[in-house]
Structure 1
Amino acid sequence: MNDTLDILGGKWKLLILHYLISREGITNTFKKIERDIDGISAKMLSKELKDLETNKMVQREVQNTKPVTVAYSITNYGKTTKEIIDVLVDWGKSHRMKMIDKG
């Protein structure tokens, strides 16, 4: 469990992975990710992307544009988290309904 939490723990990593998995095949620039993930700062996004890249979950690609653009994509290894993320999403929806029904 500690190994898993070291790699996937925190507020943002699973959100970033979920975002990149759902946008596979689409160019995901740093600025686009920052705009689309509500509440994440550029500094935190940079840190989390570096951590995910170090753990081979995300690939960073510097594009030859002016100004330079950096794009991120999910790796095949990163895609192995899809089942885990899907279960967590389903659980979250179920929990929300339980709290609403609690009335």
Structure 2
Amino acid sequence: MAVKTVKILTDDIDGTEADETVAFSLDGKDYEMELSSDNAAALRNVLAPYVEKARRVTQPARTSAKPASRGKSESGLDIPAVRAWARSNGWPNLSDRGRIPREIQEAYIAAGN
């Protein structure tokens, strides 16, 4: 016997059955909420004068994976060289992996490397 599960969305404003998920952003934060057709239309009507005057922002395409660093930090430093320098200059607790603390990077650069 097959069992079919049906997910019923509930309107986040009034608790009735929702017809859609509405996504929006404000002050750099993204939001989503489930709304009935009437409440979705009401939200769009309230925002319409602001949307009409606003500039549309396009975002660059997101990549699915961050490329490997190949031994270089974001600032272009040679990570193995920074680790070797740090250990020989009083930073014995630096791990073999992971991010190199900014203060070590700054000390490395200040030492003329």
Instruction: Name the TM-score class by shorter chain.
Output: under 0.3
TM norm structure 1: 0.20
The structure having more radius of gyration, on CA atoms, is 2
